[in-house]
Amino acid sequence: MRARRCDFHTHSLFSDGELIPMELIRRAAVADHRAVAITDHASFSSIEWVVRHVAKDCAKVSAWGIEAIPGVEITHVPVALIDEAVKLARSAGAELIVVHGETPVEPVEPGTNRAAASNPEVDILAHPGVISEKDAELAEGNGVYLEISCRKGHSLANGHIARVAEATGAKLLVNTDLHGPEDMSTMASATSVARGAGLGSEAVREALVTNSETLLGKLNRM
C-alpha cells in the first residue's frame, strides 16, 4: 500500500502561523496527508485555550480522509517547569505533546532537551539541534521521538541529529514546523530533507513511514 505523509508539527494563527486550523487541515488533506497535528506554540498562559480551540476543528474533518490531531508545542518554558507544562497540556486534552528543543537559532534554555527527553509523556522533541548522545539515549528509553526539521534555520542541525540518533538508536520523525501554506510538504520533499540529513534509504523509510505509523497507533490507543 502506498505510504502517505504524516506531519506532526504545524502551527496555525492561534500562535505564529498564517492559517486557521480548518484551512491548515484542508490543505494537508489535499496534499495527500494521512495525518496532521496542529501543535501551536504555547506556555502556561495559553496551553488550555489553544488546545481546546484547535480540537474543535480537528473533530470536524473526518469526511476529508485525514486524521487531524490536536496538540501543542511547549515553547521557551523554564526547564524546571517543563514537566508541569506537559501535565497541564495533557489534562487540557492535547493528544500530541511537542517540546521546543534547543536549537542553534533560538535562545532556548540549556537543559530543555534533557527535560523533554526524560519525560515519557512527551511525544516529540522538536529540532533538538544541540542534543547530546546522553539526552538522545534518554529520549530513546522514554519513547520520545527526535525531529528532523524541514524548517529553515532549525534544519541546519539535521545532520548532527541524524548522527546522534544513529549512534544511540533514538527514533526520528521528519516534520515541517509549518507556519504558512508554502511550508506544506509532500512525501517526496520530506524524503529529500531526510536524505539531506544523511539518512540512508532504510532510515528514511523508518522516519517517514514506520515511526509515523507507530506514533499514530499510540495516539489512537490513548
> CA neighbours within 13 Å on the CB side: how many for 177?
22
User: What pLDDT does residue 43 have?
Assistant: 98
Q: Break the chain into its structural domains and give their ranges.
A: 5-194+208-217
- What percent of the chain is helix, strand and coil (3-state, nearest 5)? 45, 20, 35
Grid cell at residue 63: 469526511
User: What is residue 18's DSSP assignment?
Assistant: S
How far is CA 23 from its chain centroid? 19
Q: What is the mean pLDDT of each run of 10 residues along the chain (222 residues)?
A: 90 98 98 97 98 98 97 98 98 98 97 98 98 98 98 97 98 98 97 98 98 95 76
Q: What is the pTM of this model?
A: 0.97
CATH level 2 (architecture), domain 5-194+208-217: Alpha-Beta Barrel (3.20)
Buried/exposed 143-157: b ≥16 CB within 10 Å, e otherwise: ebbbbbbbbeebbeb
C-alpha 118: how far from chain center: 17
